[in-house]
Amino acid sequence: MKSSVRTLLFLLLLIGGIGTSAAYRDHRGVRIDSLEALLHSANPPQGEELLGVYLDLMRGYPPVDAARWEMYARKALALSYRLNKLNAREGALYNLGLMAYGRDEFDTALGYYQWALALTDSMRHDKRYSSSTIDDNLSQLYGAIGNLYNMQDQLLLAIEYYQRALPIFERNGWLESQCILYHNVGELYLSMGNNEKAEQNYLLALERGEQAKDSLMMALPRKGLAKIYLGQEYDKARQTLLPAYEYYHAHRAEEPGDYAEILASMARLCLQSDSTERAKAYAEEALTYADAVMTEIRCDAYAAACEVAMAEGHWQQALEYGLQSVHDDDDEATYSDASCYVLLADIYTQLGDKEKARLYINKVYDMMARFATEHYQSGITQMEILYETEKKQAAIEQLTREKRWLTMGAVLSGVVLLLVALLFFLLWRSVRLTRRHALVTAKLEGERTERVRIARDLHDRLGGILTALRMQLSEPTALSLTDDAIREMRNVSHHLLPDSLTRYGLRTALSDYCQTMKNVTFSFMGEEQRIAHEEAIYCIVYELVNNAVKHSGAEHIRVQLVAQRDYTAVNVSDDGKGFAPPGQATADDGSGLQGIRERVAAIGGTMDVFARQGEGTEINIELKINTRNDEQREQ
């Protein structure tokens, strides 16, 4: 829990631009030194203990020494391989990602994060790691990827990734993390000019902050809310702003950036109540704090000072402040620059410089065009919709379940005897069906385990011996026979269970398989990387393609995989001779399709065969994925 709060605080640092790490620095410095001393002592730690020291050093160095941070991350990564510690490896990868991020190497960073995500995914199947460790890692990585997109100005993508962490926080009841997440999303929406969504998220953040009874978590969203209300309702703005001011005033040494933002808002509030004197005092104080912090906040403070100077009629000074309040480079301009442009246009008009005034008016128009696209303004991310729909679905299902019980009760009291008889019949039938289903499933599972074992054995044991044998031979015929044996062994072991399937998933494995077949093309559509029942689906497609190659006489076979969040579909089509549709067909509807049908049913899928004499065959398999159930199972 602690580490995810820390991550998001880190995230907050980037968005809000404040430096709370100063408080940690001294304390951590001591720890680093003692750890270094331990490493170079007469009796240095070994094995897992050494890995622990590396990880502590890796986490301790970031604010102090980037080179050593990297060195210990790499050492931890290497040692994690030797000791087979997945969580340590994840930590090292995450840190390497952070380093790349710090160097602005975004692609590299994304690569490390995704590697870490895949690794975390594989930790699910490892009993050594608890679900809270996995949740911790996932939320940390989602936050990091969100930051990455945020820095590249892909704000909607950033929001989407931040929101992926939300179910995790809710599941674990991490209120502070939820609060920071909502606050960050609110900040992003605000910077896109979508006040409605920003307000919504700030309010949710405030609610979580109140639940957590955390004064910082309440002050944060209030700071954002106040900015929205300042332009609209004085009373609401005042009510929201004052408690936040109180908090940040008390903590102004630790959070100078946030305090500067609050002061700018206070200045604006005073301007609205016509107390220009006090507004000026706040604006000036904001400027003294703002110079030390990041651009966005400095702009905000200067804009407030500019507004105060305008209210006083000091146009020349207003101009100075106004010019400081906008980004030098138009490309970097954000939504808040637009309001500063308006101020500048106003000032230049007062100063009689029509040219300049017109220039800034045009800039406003440009900005409007940039930001007013419908997508940007009301951009609700897909994740949010999905998440909301899922929640509603759960509520509906709950209701249906309750209703079903009522109906059942009524029926029971009415026709008890009949029902008992019926139940017995149903029970008998379902036992028979379940038994059959269980048999098929058990058979498939047994088959799978056996496949894995044989494939590994072939590849690891026989492969090594064959290779060694090959090197002892000089007779050309013997050599070429050994080559054939190696190649054949490789094919057999690959077709039993391709390594790429377990490691990289169905898409890669199918692409590999189709690439090695002469007349088969593969295409993929969708967004899911890993899907359920990959091995079963692979075997099914393998057989379908084999069937088509052997029996259809097709010139071309096409395999398509669609992997969406809620369903997976595979389509195998060929231009071969086809066959008569079922009903008119003979007992064997196209070379062992019955067996495949059973496999599809065993994983809960449906299969449709579409064939006409002379018009090729098309087989479509679809698997609905109940995402909600999956999540429950993970808990």
Residues that bind other proteins (CB under 8 A): 74, 77-79, 81-82, 84, 115, 459-460, 463-465, 467-468, 470-472, 483, 486-487, 490, 494, 498-500, 503-504, 508-509, 511-512, 515-516, 521-526, 558, 560, 562, 564, 567, 569, 571, 573, 581, 606, 608, 610, 615-616, 618, 620, 622
**422 vs 471, beta carbon nearer other proteins:** 471
CB of 623 to other proteins, least distance (A): 11
**363 vs 533, beta carbon nearer other proteins:** 533
Which DSSP state fits 462? I
Q: For residue 466, give Cα distances in angstroms to 190, 276, 454.
A: 65, 89, 16
**Secondary structure (3-state) at 284:** helix
CB of 91 to other proteins, least distance (A): 14
Q: In the block, which residue shows the tokens 């957590």?
A: 212
Q: For residue 124, give Cα distances in angstroms to 95, 120, 133.
A: 21, 7, 10
Cα gap 284→279, rounded to integer Å: 9
**273 vs 523, beta carbon nearer other proteins:** 523
**284 vs 622, beta carbon nearer other proteins:** 622
Sequence-separated (6 or more) residues with CB below 8 Å from residue 296: 17, 334, 336
Sequence-separated (6 or more) residues with CB below 8 Å from residue 55: 72, 76, 88, 91, 92
Continuous segment of H or E residues that includes residue 567: strand 567-574
Q: Which two tokens stand for residue 526?
A: 């969708």
**312 vs 618, beta carbon nearer other proteins:** 618
**298 vs 558, beta carbon nearer other proteins:** 558
Phi, psi dihedrals of residue 381, rounded to the nearest 5°: -75, 160
CB of 336 to other proteins, least distance (A): 33
**211 vs 511, beta carbon nearer other proteins:** 511
CB of 519 to other proteins, least distance (A): 10
**360 vs 513, beta carbon nearer other proteins:** 513
CB of 464 to other proteins, least distance (A): 4
**319 vs 455, beta carbon nearer other proteins:** 455
3-state secondary structure 213-265: CCHHHHHHHHHHHHHHHHCCCHHHHHHHHHHHHHHHHHCCCCCHHHHHHHHHH
CB of 79 to other proteins, least distance (A): 8
Cα gap 412→405, rounded to integer Å: 10
Rg from Cα positions in the chain: 32
CB of 397 to other proteins, least distance (A): 21
**106 vs 524, beta carbon nearer other proteins:** 524
CB of 585 to other proteins, least distance (A): 13
Cα gap 32→57, rounded to integer Å: 6
**96 vs 141, beta carbon nearer other proteins:** 96
CB of 437 to other proteins, least distance (A): 21
CB of 302 to other proteins, least distance (A): 44
CB of 569 to other proteins, least distance (A): 7
**How many other CB atoms are found less than 10 A from the CB of residue 37?**
9
Strands (E), 44-99: none
The answer to whether 256 and 18 are in contact (CB under 8 A) is: yes
**Identity at 346, one-letter amino acid code:** D
Q: In the block, which residue shows the tokens 């609700």?
A: 380
Continuous segment of H or E residues that includes residue 558: strand 557-563
Beta-strand pair 617-624/557-563: unpaired
